[in-house]
């Protein structure tokens, strides 16, 4: 039989029993829809993780002061002696894997003022290397320079949110912004970064040199400590060297902070990329479990298809006997029923694909999940549905082709 004619006959047979056909397809519809929703969420989560790693700097580490221990009482995280500019220089010079290092001082709730318009924001004092380590581009103007850092220059680089709030009409570059009464010249504007993984607006920030933060903006200070910084961001030359660099940083800092052998570190080296990758693996495993659930739905749908096709073979036994009696080959009969099963599953797959795409968009809007619907997902889903049709439709089709024409014609 001509394949197109077989498809036409299959569609006619399915249309005759439309409700039964739809109920048979329901399992496939749910299975394919579930596959698309789950894979879309999994792909969206992976893209979000990749964006987080990029935002933190793919090859970066962060050095923080740890907890102190005095008089038998342990302080909280960050209570140990602060890091210093001298630590930053030592790390840059003595750890070969470090290609950039930036001490950072952060303070929230400082007020920026421009022509009577004010905005409460975060001000970050940093080294020019910070933008390189964090892979954050200056899209307009420039970053501040090392000479400006050395001279505590009154310059600033603004995040996009601050620009939008203080300069709604434009013209931020070259203008002055007063922070705590100190005028700062805007020398650069950063690229949009969006929200962090914990919901903070990363673009709501003003960057100034570390020295400007300490000397002019009442920034971070600690009695008896010269040139303190809160944290240090470190750029590593390659991702595979992160663990080695972390060990060498720890060894150097133990020496610089006079930590006795066997004593606990009073600092920590944080590898955010490793943390996020661990989270990504957890989400991937969850995605596999959800995908397995969707596959089970497909299998259940396939069993429903098999049952309906067996019923169809029983109902059409005399038709099969007539076809065989007038010269149809057994392969023609088998292919006819196999095509009907594939058409049934493919139709269910198409409906499930549309329903799955709609479901993924609903999940994104209601659940605040990032989803990524890719064309290849739809192709895989349709192929899976067709595969289910072949797998579960073959047995009924084979049974139909093995009927004895005489017995089939006598069937009531």
Structure tokens at 164: 């939008």
Distance CA 381, CA 318 (A): 36
Task: Give the pLDDT means over successive 10-residue stretches in the chain (412 positions).
Answer: 68 73 79 78 68 64 71 48 90 90 92 91 94 91 94 95 92 92 94 76 94 84 79 84 86 90 86 65 67 74 82 80 80 80 82 82 71 72 78 83 74 63
What's the confidence (pLDDT) of residue 273? 64
Distance CA 234, CA 242 (A): 10
b/e map 48-81, b = 16+ CB within 10 Å = bbebbbebbbebbbbbbbbbeeeeeeeeeeeebb
What's the confidence (pLDDT) of residue 368? 60
Structure tokens at 195: 């929200």
What's the confidence (pLDDT) of residue 342? 82
Let me know: does 185 contact 176? Beta carbons within 8 Å: yes
What's the confidence (pLDDT) of residue 303? 84
What's the confidence (pLDDT) of residue 70? 46
Structure tokens at 177: 């912004």
What's the confidence (pLDDT) of residue 79? 53
Nearest of 278, 222, 6 to residue 105 by alpha carbon = 222
Let me know: does 198 contact 206? Beta carbons within 8 Å: no
Sign of the dihedral defined by the CA atoms of residues 182, 123, 66, 255, in that order: negative
- Helix%, strand%, coil% for the chain, nearest 5: 55, 20, 25
Coil, strand, or helix at residue 379?
A: helix
- Cβ neighbours, 10 Å, residue 179: 22
DSSP H or E run through 269: strand 267-270
Whose tokens are 């006997």? That residue is: 321
Nearest of 115, 25, 7, 52 to residue 300 by alpha carbon = 25
DSSP H or E run through 179: strand 176-179
What's the confidence (pLDDT) of residue 76? 47
Instruction: Find the length of the chain.
Output: 412
DSSP H or E run through 108: strand 98-114
What's the confidence (pLDDT) of residue 154? 95
């Amino acid at each position: 039989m001509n394949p197109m004619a077989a498809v036409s006959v299959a569609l006619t047979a399915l249309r005759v029993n439309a409700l039964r056909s739809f109920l048979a397809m329901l399992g496939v519809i749910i299975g394919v829809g579930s596959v698309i929703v789950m894979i879309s969420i999994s792909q969206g989560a992976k893209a979000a993780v990749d964006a987080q790693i990029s935002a933190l700097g793919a090859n970066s580490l962060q050095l923080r002061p740890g907890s102190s221990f005095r008089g038998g009482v342990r302080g909280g995280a960050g209570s140990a002696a602060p890091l210093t500019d001298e630590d930053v220089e030592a790390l840059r010079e003595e750890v070969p894997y470090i290609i950039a290092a930036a001490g950072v001082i952060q303070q929230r709730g400082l007020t920026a003022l421009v022509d009577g318009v004010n905005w409460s924001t975060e001000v970050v004092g940093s080294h020019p290397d910070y933008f390189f380590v964090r892979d954050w581009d200056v899209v307009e103007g420039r970053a501040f320079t090392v000479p400006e850092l050395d001279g505590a220059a009154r310059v600033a680089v603004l995040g996009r949110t601050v620009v939008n709030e203080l300069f709604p009409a434009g013209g931020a570059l070259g203008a002055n912004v007063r922070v705590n009464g100190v005028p700062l010249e805007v020398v650069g504007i950063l690229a949009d970064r969006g929200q962090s993984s914990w919901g903070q607006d990363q673009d709501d920030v003003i960057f100034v040199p570390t020295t400007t933060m300490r000397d002019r903006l009442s920034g971070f200070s600690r009695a008896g400590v010269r040139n303190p910084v809160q944290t240090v961001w470190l750029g590593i030359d390659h991702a595979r060297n992160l663990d080695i660099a972390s060990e060498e940083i720890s060894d150097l800092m133990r020496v610089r902070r006079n930590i006795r052998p066997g004593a606990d570190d009073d600092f920590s080296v944080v590898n955010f990329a490793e943390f996020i990758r661990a989270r990504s693996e957890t989400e991937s495993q969850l995605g596999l479990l959800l995908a397995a659930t969707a596959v089970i739905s497909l299998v259940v749908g396939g069993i429903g298809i098999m049952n309906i096709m067996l019923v169809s073979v029983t109902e059409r036994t005399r038709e099969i006997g007539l076809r065989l009696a007038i010269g149809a080959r057994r392969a023609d009969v088998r292919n006819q029923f196999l095509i009907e099963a594939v058409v049934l599953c493919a139709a269910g797959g198409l409906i499930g694909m549309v329903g799955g795409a709609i479901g993924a968009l609903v999940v994104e809007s209601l659940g605040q999940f990032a989803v990524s619907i890719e064309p290849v997902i739809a192709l895989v889903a349709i192929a899976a549905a067709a595969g289910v049709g072949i797998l579960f439709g073959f047995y009924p089709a084979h049974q139909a082709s093995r009927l004895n024409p005489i017995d089939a014609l006598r069937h009531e």
